[in-house]
Structure 1
């Protein structure tokens, strides 16, 4: 644990705004990303609400995690829906502190991946925050969670690596992807992979008031074993890569930089939530490290965040 962790925190260089419709609500949402002070983390601010409108990007604030990840404030009904692709882009660009102002409950889906969010962030660039260093989550013991047919397992490692296996009906089938040795490498390999669904699930979602903003422009749709998107260039690992993108976004809700080897089978948002809870359920599972410049050593902090 010597000088490998002497990496400064980052935020964006200046504010930037953009708009789009939500995948499930179909509502227009205007968003402004703003720089934030060191050690404040990622925070959503519902500007359309007058009171109790702040929602930290923290796994303890997860309200629902079935079709997407939804966060909810403790002290109000304020929610923010479908956060995972924006959070993946934030994490993939090394951002630790950021204010996300929005005037509706759902983050825009944009193209269905993190690509457009990535372009927006890179348009303003990121800056280092002096004398404040990143925090790292060091996995010390194997942590495993099973949920129906899905498995989440993370083990000690000197790097961050993800091994993902999915198993869906044709034309997807079984896909396996192993990526690492660092977050940037993993993110750059998966940021363009769009969300996907099966046509028969769309009717169910619409009956439940969801998928109002979905289209072939922001999702890959499969019907009768065929992909309906005419411009889609099939790759053997595309759908597994989208699941990794979701994992990056969801696990960013721990507010830390993971050092460990993650293996997932048939992952989803709920499995990711359960995995995070299990990591922090026992002090023996992890340590949190942050370099302390003033004392010229790396401080160790054990925090139980169950």
Structure 2
């Protein structure tokens, strides 16, 4: 079974508000999560300095950067950075429609994981809507390579992720983890995994005016081969679990759930984006699946399925 419920689209019952600081700017951020109608998808509502609100869809077509984090933007130049931890929570909880009002250029880092976002979304209440989920179902493999890294999508009956990392660092080393994604497995195995980095890299970012909001309160930090966080790790392999968390958030930009197995080796935001773009561009690699149906629809049925869901919910090819 792909979906543990009846296949309805979902949103939240009421608004939820989170406050924090941006990991790079160090500036205060207020985030308001709001219910949205069926077919809306996930949309950031970014306010500029004059109070104007601009819509930025959480879609691959709005991707503006993958350096250090995932950044979404729109033609006027407004952008929202570090969206991956929030989008991982939204995707893992199978929330299809959501407005995210934000008054700054970064999603607040919170504790460096997805757990605060999971808590806020669940406290707001997750409710079913009168529209069916339309998902992307893998039909054939799609693979991309970049240097020593690779990522690939493989056909599967679940939303599965397998991530492997290999760092020349005794604290991290080579780690691998795999997960069949459900709200329960995400909360139990992945949500609490924090972002991480080396102290020398953080110092270089500080010199460039970046990572100004980073601290031991919101990141796992390594210095001279030793862990600086007094409380230690939340999981023995927290590093690879956070990379899997990032992959879930990055692939949420498909605009629809992906039924298939995503595998990456030495991956990151860039190769996640490359793999998603390659998948969406290869229309022979996937077909539409309407949740609750006994089997995926045939290709010739795709137009007839448009009534299940507003066109905005479909992934955009770019």
- Fold conserved between structures, TM > 0.5: yes
Shift of 1:301: 3.0
**Counterpart secondary structure, 2:200:** helix
5+ residue gaps, structure 2, are 304-314
Deviations 1:207-265 (A, max 9, x none): 22210000000000001111000001364421110001001111111111111111110
Preserved contact between residue 45 and residue 53 of structure 2 (Cα < 8 Å): no
Shift of 1:179: 1.4
**Counterpart secondary structure, 2:281:** coil
State yes or no: 1:71 paired with 2:72. yes
Deviations 1:177-232 (A, max 9, x none): 1211x333542210000000011101221122210000000000001111000001
User: How many matched pairs?
Assistant: 301
**Counterpart secondary structure, 1:275:** helix
Spell out the pairing of 1:35-114 with structure 2 (5 A cutoff).
35-49=35-49, 50-51=51-52, 53-73=54-74, 75-114=75-114
What is the TM-score when the length of structure 2 is the normalising length? 0.89
Alignment-derived partner of residue 166 in structure 2: 167
Instruction: Pick closer, same or farther for the CA change 1:40–1:174 going to 2, 3 Å.
Output: same
State yes or no: 1:305 paired with 2:317. yes
**Counterpart secondary structure, 2:29:** strand
Shift of 1:298: 4.9
Spell out the pairing of 1:1-306 with structure 2 (5 A cutoff).
6-49=6-49, 50-51=51-52, 53-73=54-74, 75-130=75-130, 132-168=131-167, 169-180=169-180, 182-188=181-187, 189-233=189-233, 235-290=235-290, 298=297, 300-301=301-302, 305-306=317-318
- Structure 2 CA distance, aligned partners of 1:111 and 1:194? 7
Instruction: Pick closer, same or farther for the CA change 1:61–1:68 going to 2, 3 Å.
Output: same
Instruction: Pick closer, same or farther for the CA change 1:52–1:17 going to 2, 3 Å.
Output: closer
Instruction: Pick closer, same or farther for the CA change 1:159–1:150 going to 2, 3 Å.
Output: same
Instruction: Pick closer, same or farther for the CA change 1:171–1:27 going to 2, 3 Å.
Output: same
What is the TM-score when the length of structure 1 is the normalising length? 0.92
Deviations 1:148-203 (A, max 9, x none): 121101111111211111111221000011211x3335422100000000111012
Preserved contact between residue 5 and residue 134 of structure 1 (Cα < 8 Å): no
Deviations 1:30-61 (A, max 9, x none): 11111000001001111345456111000111
**Counterpart secondary structure, 1:280:** helix
5+ residue gaps, structure 1, are none
Preserved contact between residue 48 and residue 102 of structure 1 (Cα < 8 Å): no
CA RMSD of superposed structures (Å)? 2.3
Instruction: Pick closer, same or farther for the CA change 1:238–1:298 going to 2, 3 Å.
Output: same
Preserved contact between residue 60 and residue 316 of structure 2 (Cα < 8 Å): no
